[in-house]
Amino acid sequence: MSAAARCSSLHAGVRLPSAFPGRAVDPQHHGQQQLLPAQRPQPRHRRAAPLVAAAEAASLEEQQQQQQQPGSSENGGQPSTSGRGAAPALKVRGAKVVVQDMVKHFETRRGLFKAVNGASVDMEPGTITALLGPSGSGKTTLLRLIAGLEEPTAGRVFFDGEDITGRSVPDRDLGFVFQGYALFKHMTVADNITFGPRMRKMGLDLEAKVEELLQLTELEGLGGRYPPQLSGGQKQRVAVARALACNPRLLLLDEPFGALDPVVRKSLRHGLRDIVRRVGVTTIIVTHDQEEAWDIADHVVIFNKGAIEQHGTPEEVAKEPMSPFVMNFVGDVSHVPASCQLVRKMGFHTDKPFVMVRPSDIRLRTNFEECQSCAPATVHDKANLGKSVRYYLRFDDDVDVDLTVSRKVDEEVYDLGVGQRVFVQVPPAKMMGFDYSDIDATSAGI
Ligand SMILES: Nc1ncnc2c1ncn2[C@@H]1O[C@H](COP(=O)(O)OP(=O)(O)OP(=O)(O)O)[C@@H](O)[C@H]1O
């Protein structure tokens, strides 16, 4: 198998199956809703990327299952999106990273500011962890603390059990990719890639290294170009190749796709996932894009006001949000008064004034006889969003809840008209009481 073929996931428009069966098609996140009318087929409850049609999700799932057959992984037992192994020279043993009680205070004119406030998280070797959270919640600061670019006020970082908190940046075996890529414009692609090994006098066969990395990142033939002669996606791949040139055991990416348009982003993130899996490097990515985090990461860490609100697999965090903040931050929710008909009918009790409901937890029926405990509502409006359809449901006490379904699901299952009566059920266990102060993401500081 040629290296070019190995990197096929980097081709724009090529869609690789997810390496994580069951996650990329999770109905709990950006979910598809359930409609259970009489004599209607039940929808397939799975999620691909938001608004991906159920048929596409089904075919993805089949591909994922094939990928997961015993013996299908050639990457040290790790799932591989391509079923192909890394070039041996590029393969590394990713570090196990443990962040313990990390605190960072910045001096500001208004006093000390707590940017990171007691963050603890473990990252297993070779895994991808996404740091997610609102702007200013401390994601980049934690990344910089792990890199050694900031000195912690308190807390420790361990690589493979070794305390590296006091080590300099070059002594940490890291690779970096930043949003702007920070490529050297006056150097060729090849020189950009070999910059690190040359500075560190690593004594590598630089020509061979460049070839391997150009192949891995599908940039063959572009080694002699200068950065201004590259597209945004190509620059991003050069940045990844350069970050991997010193065989890092931890790769840190801060909004690596931020400057790219959504189509290129999607294609590149699948390529990146494939590359880091094959190389085996432990990877931490800061992103604002939840779809990106869900698509690429084994673990997600949700930040709020400098603290970690929750971390776990994307499924865990989406299905079992542990706080109103996480439930509100991850995926779609509707906010309704705790005293409204829907909440009372479902028998949900809370001492909070509001309740969150995920559209993906809504069950609809068109026949009251089938669900006498349901809350009646009317389809108040229906919006065609291209690949999806949004229904606006109005309950009899004038409380509104909306839900979005893919066009295919709508055609095959929903097909409701404006003014139609529906009967709504939401499992009380899926509701969460909250006050607006619980979901306020304004930075705390001190
Ligand atoms: N050098 C600094 N001095 C003072 N405050 C800082 C410094 N660096 C970061 N901060 C503050 O710390 C908080 C966390 O910043 P950080 O960049 O980690 O947030 P973030 O979650 O990465 O945000 P974004 O998603 O917008 O990049 C912010 O309020 C920021 O203003």
Question: What value of ipTM does the predicted structure carry?
Answer: 0.98
The CATH superfamily label for domain 97-319 reads P-loop containing nucleotide triphosphate hydrolases (3.40.50.300)
Taking the mean position of all CA atoms in its chain, how far away is CA 89?
Answer: 29
Of 159, 160, 161, 147, the closest CA to residue 104 belongs to 147
Q: What is the pLDDT of residue 30?
A: 35
Question: What are the boundaries of each domain within the chain?
Answer: 97-319, 332-438
Q: What's the CA gap between 14 and 274, in Å, rounded? A: 12
* 179 ligand 1 Cβ < 6 A: no
Q: Whose CA is nearest to atom 25 of ligand 1?
A: 135
Q: For residue 443, how far is its CA from the centre of ligand 1 (angstroms)?
A: 9
Domain boundaries 332-438, CATH class: mainly beta
Question: Contact 281/76 with Cβ under 8 angstroms?
Answer: no
Residue nearest to atom 11 of ligand 1 (CA): 115
Residues of the chain with pLDDT under 70: 1-89, 203, 259, 441-446
Whether ligand 1 lies within 6 angstroms of the CB of 140 is answered as: yes
Distance 109 CA to ligand 1 centre (A): 15
Q: Does the Cβ of 75 fall within 6 Å of ligand 1?
A: no
Residue 297 and residue 313 in contact, taking contact as beta carbons nearer than 8 Å: no
- Distance (Å) from CA 131 to ligand 1 centroid: 14
CA distance 268 to 313: 22
What pLDDT, on the 0 to 100 scale, is given for residue 88?
55
First and final C-alpha spacing in the chain: 57
- Relative to the CA of 303, which ligand 1 atom is closest? 21
Contact present, 37 and 244 (Cβ < 8 Å): no
Distance of CA 209 from the midpoint of ligand 1 (Å): 36
Distance 231 CA to ligand 1 centre (A): 29
Contact 95, 125 (CB under 8 A): yes
Q: What pTM value is reported for the model?
A: 0.77
Outline where DSSP puts E strands in 51-127: 97-108, 111-123
- Is the CB–ligand 1 distance for residue 445 below 6 Å? no
Residue nearest to atom 24 of ligand 1 (CA): 135
